[in-house]
């Protein structure tokens, strides 16, 4: 791995700091289409639950949906993960970014590609937009992510050129 920070790695540090500081997951807007129909179908069995019903109503109205609440509801109800509160996702995300042994993977050339941070200790993959917005968090085995770019502890401690 590189010994000194270049412009790309400085931008990565800034994005990770932003992701830790702001807890911004952004919003999603659903338009009529197959993705919206699939999302509504996934939540249909849980519409009797008030927080799911409220989320589904917002999706149907085509209004912006808080992405954190969407991810939480999908994880808790559709995927039956042990998530009890939306802030659990924030906590897990921060554990990944705070793991000095976590590995950062370089984004692709496409300007919309994102940083991937994998924590073997937590078996989680955090996805961070280049602007520092939190995109997602997944259980992951760490395989097939590409070549590691930086170990987070090394990235933070390495001086700029």
The pLDDT tens digits of the residues spanning 128-141 come to 999 999 999 988 99
Looking at the predicted structure, is the pLDDT value of residue 3 above 80? Answer: no
* Under 8 Å between Cβ of 117 and 103: yes
Q: How far apart are alpha carbons 115 and 65 in whole angstroms?
A: 23
Q: Is residue 143 part of a domain?
A: yes
The predicted structure's pLDDT at residue 40:
96
Number of domains in the chain: 2
Q: Is residue 39 part of a domain?
A: yes
Is pLDDT above 90 for 2?
no
* Per-residue confidence (pLDDT) for residue 158, from 0 to 100: 64
Query: Does the pLDDT at position 5 exceed 80?
Result: no
Does the pLDDT at position 79 exceed 50? Answer: yes
Q: Is residue 1 part of a domain?
A: no
pLDDT category at 160 given cuts 50, 70, 90 is low
**Pair 44, 105 in one domain:** no
Residues 96, 120, single domain; the answer is yes
Same domain, 69 and 19: no
CATH of the domain at 134: 3.10.450
**Do 147 and 99 belong to one domain?**
yes
- The answer to whether residue 2 is domain-embedded is no
- C-alpha–C-alpha distance, residues 149 and 161, integer Å: 17
Please indicate, yes or no, whether residues 99 and 130 belong to a single structural domain of this protein.
yes
Co-location of 45 and 67 in the same domain: yes
* Highest-confidence segment of 86-95, 105-114, 146-155: 86-95
Please compute the mean of the pLDDT values over residues 42-60 and round it to a whole number.
96
pLDDT of residue 49: 97
Lowest mean pLDDT, pick from 115-124, 127-136, 142-151: 142-151
Q: pLDDT band for position 1 (50/70/90)? A: very low
The 3-class secondary structure across the chain, one letter per residue, is CCCCECHHHHHHHHHHHHHHHHCCCCEECCCCCHHHHHHHHHHHHHCCCHHHHHHHHHHHHCCCEEHHHHHHHHHHHHCCCCCCCHHHHHHHHHHHHHCCCCEEECCCCCCCCCEEEEECCCCEEEEECCCCCEEEEEECCCCCCCCEEEEHHHHHHCCEC
**Residues of the domain holding 35:** 27-78
């Amino acid at each position: 791995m590189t010994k000194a920070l270049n412009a790309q790695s400085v931008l990565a540090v800034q994005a990770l700091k932003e992701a830790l500081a702001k807890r911004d997951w952004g919003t999603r807007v659903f338009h009529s289409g197959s993705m919206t129909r699939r999302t509504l179908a996934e939540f249909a069995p849980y519409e009797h639950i008030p927080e799911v019903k409220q989320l589904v109503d917002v999706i149907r109205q085509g209004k912006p949906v808080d992405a954190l609440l969407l991810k939480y509801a999908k994880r808790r109800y559709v995927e039956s993960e042990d998530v009890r509160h939306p802030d659990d996702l924030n906590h897990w995300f921060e554990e990944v970014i705070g793991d000095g042994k976590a590995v950062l993977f370089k984004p692709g050339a496409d300007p919309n590609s994102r940083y991937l941070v994998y924590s073997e200790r937590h078996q989680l993959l955090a996805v961070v937009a280049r602007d520092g917005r939190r995109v997602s968090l997944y259980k992951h085995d760490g395989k097939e992510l590409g070549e590691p770019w930086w170990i987070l502890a090394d990235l933070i401690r390495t001086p700029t050129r």
